[in-house]
Chains A and B, each alone.
Chain A
Amino acid sequence: MSNALSLAWRTLVRRPRRLLLFIAGVTVAAAVLIDMVMLAEGLQRSLSDLLEETGYQVRVVPKGTLPFETEAAILHSTRVAAAFSADPRIADVVPLWGRTIYASSPGAEAVATFGYGAPAGTAPTLRLRVGRTLERLGEVVINRDLAERFRLSPGDSLLVGLEPDPAVGALRSRRVVRVSGVADFMFAAAGSATLALTLEDLWALAGTTSEPAALLMIRVAADANPYAVARELRGRDTSVDVYAIPEIIEAAGDRLTYFQQLSLVLGTVSLGVAFLLVTTLLTLSVNERWGEVAALRALGVTRGRMLAQVAWQGLMISAAGTVAGIAAGLIIARYLDGILTSFPGLPVNLSFFVLDRNDALLAIGLLVVTGLLAGLYPAWRAASVNIAAVLREEIE
């Protein structure tokens, strides 16, 4: 084995510039493959991580919708949440609602913000930066964009209301709230002004008495299975959809089909290119050394050793290209992620290119197998050389 390996190495480095060029080719193919593997499931993984971070494993949404996809709402959510809370497998239920709210401070023009409503004392989708979360009515948590725009900090006042009324020249249903904290909103779009009020304040502001919620977030008890809880709740109330986190990711899958298809196509093409490159190089290398191969066979080198030597060459090229390709792929992924995460309305914390250990191993395995398969034809040619005929030709 070590002789075959050593001979394979010496054969390859005989033409270093050519070798480098082919490794460069395999590197580009490997980089594209790694990127496509990262892209195929990247957004789902990133979204799943964000959803898991909230600590709530089940989501209840109006039938046929996904959270905050439409204005559809679960009505009388306090009652619905209380009914769910009675289940011993459920540790906590948090209703959330959202709608456009206008915010303004003295002397400044009102801006449209996305306003979340959550029960006082809960903050499942906030990462608090300064101050504290909502604890009582009349408080608001704002995001950093809004804090910078109006130069606000905890303790300051903010005017909130519904859309401006041209007839009276002021916000409809306006009221003054006190900033209790500044936070990053996990699902808020980059650069968008966002705030959170208590649900009661948001309902009162909107003038609704039906206690709407866009979704209910459920934390299951430590010993309960989120899938089983979701399945049972689904059967209990047919006017809602109930999802465990992996199920909601799957339900959102239709929107991400494009990235999966693109990854499949480009990943397959890159493997094909790597295969062609390695096969071409090894076939030529065997052709060039035709006489040498015949002489070695005549000296007693077995078919198996010839086969192993060429297979090692394929493996070495693909291994070198894979190592360089992973490094290049990570750099390219960062660049491409920078482009895709500039999608308008996308939550700041999402990423399209996520490297998962199993997927990385899959990509490396595919490249190594491709290298081995690519070496099969030239290896077979080298092993089945007609010794007498080739030696005669070489002498002539």
Chain B
Amino acid sequence: MAQPLPELLLENRTAVNLEISIGDTVWISGLDTQERPFVVVGTYRRPADPSTVTLRDYRATFHLSDLQELLGAGDRVDRFSVLLRPGASRDAVIAEIDRLAFGADALATEKVAAATSETFRVVSRFHRALAGITITGAAVFLLCLVVLKLEERRLEGASMRDVGISRRTLFLWMFSETLVMAGIGTAIGLVLGWVGSALINAYFRRLYDTSMAFARVTEELALLVAFIGLATGVVVGTLAGLGLVRSRSSRLRQL
């Protein structure tokens, strides 16, 4: 009786591009090994892993022994994942493996995660730097608008001072107007950010055939943006308010 063929799973993209279906037989070889037949028993979607999302390579998953045989790799593996028994000391196990296994490093999960997430830390630093530039630009833009407002109000402000309106009222007038402007701008910015993130996700999910989220407006992020927007409004509003109340009315008219 003929031996059943060894099995493999194909990643969706590989199966689609190579026009292979479940149940088909495919012939695969290693660098120095003969071609061998495998039967495709299923397909899978590549895990939503940011570090591999842009790669376009074809992927298949084998039983370990089949892959070792195909590669002529003997009993070699790239790594072991070790699950400790409850109560076992992770550090002690790591030290023991390092002592016993020549040429192998035992690493705690966080260390592996930290090493593989370095790319995203760089992206994060880049985004923070861009955010800094954007905030500077937005602050200058807001300041420009407020200066224009201030100049537009110069006569009105001088007249109000002359008829006895207090400095405090004038300050609050300018301050609150700036704050409202910053608030409306921040709200529009958040809506645009939310719409933008939806568009970005739709575009890149389609491009890379993945379920991964590329941009997300989280609650914490929205609060941070609101805080920065309003804080900018408070600073610029204070400057504008002081600009209006500190000048003498005669000077304001001359402007």
Measured between alpha carbons, how far is A288 from B155 in the docked complex, in Å?
A: 12
Q: Are A21 and B133 in touch, CB under 8 angstroms?
A: no
Q: Which residues of A contact B58 (CB under 8 A)?
A: 64
A212 CA to B126 CA in the complex, in Å? 39
**Distance (Å) between the CB of A337 and the closest chain B CB?**
10
In the complex, what distance in Å separates the CA atom of A257 from the CA atom of B137?
A: 25
Interchain CB contact under 8 A, B102 and A21: no
Number of interface residues of B (CB under 8 A): 37
Q: Which B residues are CB-close (under 8 A) to A94?
A: none
A154 CB–B CB distance under 8 Å: no
**Whole-angstrom CA separation of A31 from B147 in the bound complex:** 22
Could you say which residues of chain A place their CB within 8 Å of the CB of B104? 164, 166
Query: Is residue B122 contacting chain A, with contact meaning CB distance below 8 A?
Result: yes
Could you say which residues of chain A place their CB within 8 Å of the CB of B5? none
Bound Cα distance A332, B129 (Å):
9
Knowing A29-B137, A32-B137 touch, does A336 contact B102 (C-beta < 8 A)? no
The answer on a CB contact under 8 Å between A340 and B119 is: no
Take A110-B103, A165-B103, A343-B122 as given contacts and tell me if A210 and B31 are in contact as well, using a CB distance cutoff of 8 Å.
yes
Minimum CB–CB distance for A113 against chain B, Å? 14
Q: Does A225 contact B (CB under 8 A)?
A: no
**Do B103 and A21 touch across chains, with their CB atoms under 8 A apart?**
no
Does B136 touch A at the CB level, under 8 Å?
yes
- Give chain B nearest CB distance to A75 CB in angstroms: 8
**Chain A residues in 8 Å Cβ range of B57:** 64-65, 69-70
Do residues B133 and A28 form an inter-chain contact, with CB atoms below 8 A?
A: yes
- A340: contacting residue among B76, B102, B118, B126, CB under 8 A: B126
CB neighbors of B among A255-286 (8 A): 255, 257-258, 261, 265-266, 270, 273, 276-277, 280-281, 284
Chain A stretch 349-376: residues in CB contact (< 8 A) with chain B: none
Q: Is B148 an interface residue (CB 8 A)?
A: yes
Against A, the Cβ 8 Å flags (1 = close, 0 = not) of B52-85 are 0011111000000000000000001000000000
Chain B's nearest CB lies how many Å from the CB of A202? 13
In contact, A18 and B133 (Cβ under 8 angstroms):
no
B142 to A, closest residue via Cβ: A25
Q: Which residues of chain B are near A17, meaning CB under 8 Å?
A: 147
A277-B144 in contact (CB<8A): yes
Q: Does B141 sit at the interface, judged by CB under 8 A?
A: yes
User: Chain B 93-110 against A: per-residue CB contact (8 Å), 1 yes, 0 no?
Assistant: 000000001111000000
Q: Which residues of B contact A207 (CB under 8 A)?
A: 32
Mask of B120-143 contacts with A, CB within 8 angstroms, 1/0: 001001100110011011001101
Q: Which of A321-348 contact B (CB under 8 A)?
A: 332, 335-336, 339-340, 342-344
A73 at the interface (CB under 8 A from B): yes
Within 8 Å of chain B (Cβ to Cβ): is A169? yes
Docked-complex contact A339 and B126, CB < 8 angstroms: yes
With A254-B207, A332-B133 in contact, do A25 and B140 touch (Cβ < 8 Å)?
yes
Question: A265 CA to B197 CA in the complex, in Å?
Answer: 12
Q: With a CB–CB cut-off of 8 A, which chain B residues contact A284?
A: 148, 151-152
**Taking the complex as formed, is B224 at the interface, i.e. its CB lies under 8 A from any CB of chain A?**
no
Complex contact B103–A339 (CB within 8 A): no
Decide yes or no: A166 and B101 within 8 Å by CB, A18-B151, A70-B57 being known contacts. yes
A145 part of interface (Cβ distance < 8 Å): no
Docked complex Cα distance between A178 and B52 (Å): 37
B residues less than 8 Å from A31 (CB atoms): 133
B231 contacts across to A, CB distance below 8 A: none
Please indicate the chain B residues that have their CB under 8 angstroms from the CB of A92 in the complex: none
B102–A281 CB distance below 8 A: no
Q: Which residues on the A side are within 8 Å of B122 (C-beta)?
A: 339-340, 342-344
Tell me the complex Cα distance, A75–B141, Å.
61
Inter-chain contact B32/A209, CB cutoff 8 Å: yes
Whether B103 contacts A163 by the Cβ 8 Å rule is: yes
Please state if A280 and B119 are interface contacts (CB–CB under 8 Å).
Answer: no
Q: Which residues of B contact A163 (CB under 8 A)?
A: 76, 103
Q: Which residues, 185 to 233 on A, are CB-close (under 8 Å) to B? A: 207-210, 212
> Chain A's nearest CB lies how many Å from the CB of B208?
8
Known: A18-B151, A163-B103. A73 touches B31 (CB 8 A): yes
Q: Does A243 contact B (CB under 8 A)?
A: no
- CB-based contact A21/B119 at 8 Å: no
Least CB distance from A29 to B in Å reads 6
Q: Which A residues lie within 8 Å of B137 (CB)? A: 25, 28-29, 32, 270, 273
Q: Which residue of B lies closest to A257 (CB)?
A: B207
Q: Say whether B145 faces chain A, with CB atoms less than 8 Å apart.
A: yes
Interchain residue pairs with CB less than 8 A apart (22): A18-B148, A21-B144, A21-B147, A24-B140, A25-B140, A28-B136, A31-B133, A69-B56, A70-B57, A110-B103, A166-B104, A169-B102, A257-B204, A261-B200, A261-B203, A276-B141, A277-B144, A280-B148, A281-B144, A281-B148, A336-B126, A339-B126
Nearest 4 interchain pairs by C-beta: A164-B103, A28-B137, A255-B54, A25-B140
User: Given A208-B32, A277-B144, A340-B122, 7 other A-B contacts at CB below 8 A?
Assistant: A22-B144, A25-B140, A110-B103, A164-B104, A166-B101, A207-B32, A343-B119
Q: B residues bordering A, Cβ < 8 Å?
A: 31-32, 54-58, 76, 101-104, 118-119, 122, 125-126, 129-130, 133-134, 136-137, 140-141, 143-145, 147-148, 151-152, 196, 200, 203-204, 207
